[in-house]
Chain A
Amino acid sequence: MTGVAGERAYADLAFVQRAPIGALPPPLAMRGPWGWLRANLFSSAFNIVLTVVMLALIVWIGKSTIDFLFIDAVWVGHDRTACMASEQRPHVGACWPFVWERLNYFTYGSYPIPQRWRVDVFFAMLAIGVAWLLWLEAPRRDLGALYFFVVLPVCSFILLSGAPALGLETVDTSLWGGVLVTVVVSTVGIVVSLPLGIVLALGRRSRMPAVRLFSVIFIEFVRGVPLITVLFMASVMLPLFVPEDLTPDKLLRALIGIALFASAYMAEVVRAGLQAIPRGQYEAATALGLKFWPQMGLVILPQALRVTIPNIVNTTIGLFKDTTLVFIVGIFDLLRTIEVARIDPKWATPVTSPTGYAVAALFYWVFCYAMARYARHMELRLSAGQERR
């Protein structure tokens, strides 16, 4: 027996680690900013080459964009001479005075100048409606929906096209243009296509064969052809199909085309939402004695539309981009006003076209990106309950 003394002697002789040693920090090359660089940018020869190529690409595109938009840009001037390349100024960037001068044309088109406050009021009313609908914590969103889908269209129509009885001068739609038309076309598209799309989606799932058949034919037909042909149909065939004295004006024809087109796409989005509702919900609603419309209005649609919000917003982005196509049937939307302005001899320079397109790109990109972010945010919010933590 060695005994206690022996053990003590042993302890004196050698050092015994009684607790685990803490882990060493990772090597310097694998932590901190240097480690991050190594792992994410320079992990292999191939990746190093890729990183260098990408860096060169970013620097090249970034530098030429910044040069064009800011460094070489012309900020003041009265006509094309300001934006022409000269010996003192061999590189000319964006021609901003052209944009300042035409900004009102880009916004209102040829809408009479003394009446333009009406357009501003319309923009404000629309902004209130959109905010009311999209902000989920807003009070009385049911009133918001009523406002957006009923009050707003009626008021805007009276406000924009005029009512002599109310002292508002009539403004012909051929004078409307620019952002105003782009916004009107996309708003009408969404206001008409959502209800119509819901009806078509319900029709496609109906038990009545005739209803189903007509819905399927309409949806598949419209989705199978390009928007341009639908717009051509609305603008050249529609006048043939109605009595001569009832021919709708040019803008209304394009609006009908866009609204029908958007409805077919909206119907498919809503149908996907309806399919996501478990069967039990239908059965429970039937068991409670609800008839078809109360069942849809109180149980199914509130759930289906809620899960569909991201897809509805994505369809709206597509619709918003597609409104540019009314340009081809001769409506003065934002893109068309820019096309008209850029070939105006007063400002004709090599940089006028890129400047005009840059303005259009900024406008469309900001709105589409904002909508896309909103859709993504909603998606995360809606899936929050389902995700495992």
Chain B
Amino acid sequence: MSAAETTVRPRRSLLTNPTLRSIVYQVLLCVAVGLLVYAAISNAADNLARARIATGFGFWNTTAGFDISQTLIEYSSRGSTYGRAFWVGLLNTLLVGGLGIIFATVLGFVIGIARLSSNWLVAKVAAGYVELIRNLPLLLQLLFWYNAVLKTLPDTRDSYVVAGSVFLNNRGLVLPRAVLQAGSGALALTLLAGMVAAVVYRIWAKRRQALTGKPAPVLKVIAALVILPPLIFVALHGFPAVFEFPERGRFNITGGVEVLPEFAALLFGLVIYTAAFIAEAVRAGIQSVPSGQVEAAHALGLRPNLALRFIVMPQAMRVIIPPLTSQYLNLVKNSSLAVAIGYPDLVQVFTGTVLNQTGQAVEVVALTMAVYLVISLTASLVMNIYNRLIAPVGERA
């Protein structure tokens, strides 16, 4: 009894008190960071004042006065502002990012599955692709596609012509353009209605199969729902668009939609590069599914492609999704390499031309970084929600 009372409590000096020490450390850190930021800001103010550079976003509404080679929204060098140029650049980034993600996903899954193919040659070719592409810098690949492949294509007069209406030369790719006429809106609505009906049907068929075990013919009905209504519409009213075919003029090609060679090289390079990483993620995901699952599926009489679709992939997707998201983000971030080959993306337009013209480095670089940060943080937020949704019921928090 008395032993506990008489135990000498170790004397704690203030110097070794953990709570106090931790508070002191944190205060010191905050002060250090604060001083650093203060020094940076006061230096920046001095330097900017000395160089007579304006601060703030006053330049946003100033006329830009430079041309951009690819604009998805209306833009002209005379009448448009720096703010407008920002949106043009951002849209170009999102365009190449969005298309890149779609193509890279398809190619990546094909190669990832091919790496595990029972066909020895296919597996080796897919492995060779991954090993070659992953170990070369993306910038080198972009420069190669742009300078060594697209720029060495014949010039306008000797363009490669595919099917009489697609021209490929060193100034890019020219495709036929569809000029919409009256009634095209109705056609689009018909198509949309068919798609909605297909989705509803799919959900119904799935629910019925879950309840009764009776499968419904999904693929055929969906194809019919999507394809038939527009076809009937076209048969009744005629096709509501005319194709404007590019034609070879004396010096250049007129008409049609022009795809910039910079855009083509960037998209191609990004897709090829990212697909190699996606393929690795897919392979790792598929290999993470225990082989007993595949054997059980085969024992139940599922053919290999059905086993892959219904047994392996749904389980593998849980492992694939997180690295897949980070590859998507990498693709969007890597699209900033556009600046090296002159595709007018956000970085090239804003951190390149606008920065050079205004000299307002702090605002321009900070805004560009903010855009990418918003994209990254949004993607990780969405991914966290999705991850929680697809977690097995037992593991849900």
Interface residues of A (CB under 8 A from B): 40-41, 43, 47, 50-51, 54-55, 57-58, 207-211, 214, 220-221, 223-229, 232-233, 236-237, 239-244, 317, 321-322, 324-325, 327-328, 335, 339, 342, 350, 353-354, 357, 360-361, 364-365, 368-369, 372
Per-residue 0/1 for B349-363: is the Cβ within 8 Å of any A Cβ (1 yes, 0 no)? 001000100000110
- B144 near A357: Cβ-Cβ < 8 Å: yes
B26 in the interface (beta carbon within 8 A)? yes
Knowing that A214-B33, A226-B333 are A-B contacts, what are 18 other residue pairs whose CB atoms are under 8 Å apart, sorted by A's residue number? A58-B121, A211-B29, A221-B373, A226-B347, A228-B337, A229-B336, A229-B368, A232-B347, A232-B351, A237-B361, A237-B362, A239-B47, A324-B140, A328-B337, A335-B137, A335-B139, A354-B148, A361-B136
Residues of B within 8 A of A229 (CB): 336, 347, 351, 365, 368-369, 372
A321, closest chain B residue (CB):
B137
Output the least CB separation between A189 and chain B (Å).
14
Separation of A358 and B107 alpha carbons in the complex (Å): 25
Separation of A209 and B148 alpha carbons in the complex (Å): 52
4 smallest A-B Cβ distances: which pairs?
A368-B135, A224-B376, A40-B120, A210-B26
- A210 near B29: Cβ-Cβ < 8 Å: yes
Q: Among B39, B48, B122, B135, point to the contact of A54 (Cβ < 8 A).
A: B122
Interface centre among A322, A324, A350 (most CB of B within 10 A): A324
Output the least CB separation between B319 and chain A (Å).
16
Interface centre among B50, B119, B138, B151 (most CB of A within 10 A): B119
Separation of A229 and B362 alpha carbons in the complex (Å): 12
Q: Among B136, B139, B376, point to the contact of A365 (Cβ < 8 A).
A: B136
Q: Among B22, B148, B333, point to the contact of A225 (Cβ < 8 A).
A: B333
B373, closest chain A residue (CB):
A224
- B118 near A237: Cβ-Cβ < 8 Å: no
Residues of A within 8 A of B121 (CB): 40-41, 50-51, 54-55, 58
How would you classify the secondary structure of chain A's contact residues: helix, strand, loop or mixed? helix
B152 in the interface (beta carbon within 8 A)? yes
Separation of A328 and B47 alpha carbons in the complex (Å): 25
- A364 near B119: Cβ-Cβ < 8 Å: no
> Assuming A208-B22, A365-B132, is B125 touching A325 (CB within 8 A)?
no
Interface residues of B in 122-137 (CB under 8 A from A): 122, 125, 131-132, 134-137
B51, closest chain A residue (CB):
A240
- A240 near B44: Cβ-Cβ < 8 Å: yes
> Assuming A47-B119, A237-B361, is B339 touching A228 (CB within 8 A)?
yes
B260 in the interface (beta carbon within 8 A)? no
- A361 near B29: Cβ-Cβ < 8 Å: no
Separation of A327 and B143 alpha carbons in the complex (Å): 12
Output the least CB separation between A348 and chain B (Å).
12
Per-residue 0/1 for B83-121: is the Cβ within 8 Å of any A Cβ (1 yes, 0 no)? 000000000000000000000000000000000011111
> Assuming A210-B30, A325-B337, is B43 touching A242 (CB within 8 A)?
yes
B340 in the interface (beta carbon within 8 A)? yes
> Assuming A207-B22, A224-B373, A236-B355, is B135 touching A43 (CB within 8 A)?
no
> Assuming A211-B25, A211-B26, A364-B137, is B377 touching A224 (CB within 8 A)?
yes
Residues of B within 8 A of A228 (CB): 336-337, 339, 347, 351
Residues of A within 8 A of B29 (CB): 210-211, 214
A-B contacts, 12 of them at CB < 8 A, read A41-B120, A54-B122, A229-B372, A236-B365, A240-B361, A244-B46, A328-B337, A353-B147, A353-B151, A360-B140, A361-B136, A369-B135
> Assuming A226-B347, A229-B369, is B118 touching A58 (CB within 8 A)?
no
Residues of A within 8 A of B152 (CB): 350, 353
Separation of A302 and B165 alpha carbons in the complex (Å): 65
Separation of A361 and B135 alpha carbons in the complex (Å): 9
- B139 near A243: Cβ-Cβ < 8 Å: no
Output the least CB separation between A214 and chain B (Å).
6
Residues of A within 8 A of B138 (CB): 321
Residues of A within 8 A of B333 (CB): 225-227
B16, closest chain A residue (CB):
A291
Interface size band for B: 35 or more
B334 in the interface (beta carbon within 8 A)? yes
- A322 near B137: Cβ-Cβ < 8 Å: yes
> Assuming A208-B22, A240-B362, is B372 touching A224 (CB within 8 A)?
yes
Separation of A232 and B348 alpha carbons in the complex (Å): 11
Residues of B within 8 A of A233 (CB): 365, 369
Per-residue 0/1 for B29-58: is the Cβ within 8 Å of any A Cβ (1 yes, 0 no)? 110010000011001101110100000000
Interface centre among A55, A210, A339, A372 (most CB of B within 10 A): A210
B362, closest chain A residue (CB):
A237
Residues of B within 8 A of A207 (CB): 22
Residues of A within 8 A of B122 (CB): 50-51, 54
Residues of B within 8 A of A211 (CB): 25-26, 29
- A225 near B140: Cβ-Cβ < 8 Å: no
Q: Among B25, B26, B136, point to the contact of A368 (Cβ < 8 A).
A: B136
Residues of A within 8 A of B373 (CB): 221, 224-225
Separation of A36 and B368 alpha carbons in the complex (Å): 56
- B118 near A40: Cβ-Cβ < 8 Å: yes
Separation of A360 and B30 alpha carbons in the complex (Å): 45
Q: Among B26, B39, B119, point to the contact of A208 (Cβ < 8 A).
A: B26
Q: Among B22, B143, B368, point to the contact of A357 (Cβ < 8 A).
A: B143
Separation of A372 and B127 alpha carbons in the complex (Å): 14
B332, closest chain A residue (CB):
A226
B22, closest chain A residue (CB):
A208
Output the least CB separation between B55 and chain A (Å).
11
Residues of B within 8 A of A369 (CB): 131, 135
- B47 near A244: Cβ-Cβ < 8 Å: yes
Residues of A within 8 A of B351 (CB): 228-229, 232
Residues of B within 8 A of A40 (CB): 118-121
- B33 near A357: Cβ-Cβ < 8 Å: no
Output the least CB separation between B90 and chain A (Å).
14
Residues of B within 8 A of A227 (CB): 333
> Assuming A357-B144, A361-B136, is B43 touching A223 (CB within 8 A)?
no
- B125 near A353: Cβ-Cβ < 8 Å: no
Residues of B within 8 A of A325 (CB): 139, 337
Output the least CB separation between A244 and chain B (Å).
6
Separation of A274 and B147 alpha carbons in the complex (Å): 45
B355, closest chain A residue (CB):
A236
Interface residues of B in 310-338 (CB under 8 A from A): 333-334, 336-337
Separation of A354 and B120 alpha carbons in the complex (Å): 31
- B139 near A327: Cβ-Cβ < 8 Å: yes
Residues of A within 8 A of B119 (CB): 40-41, 43, 47, 50-51, 54
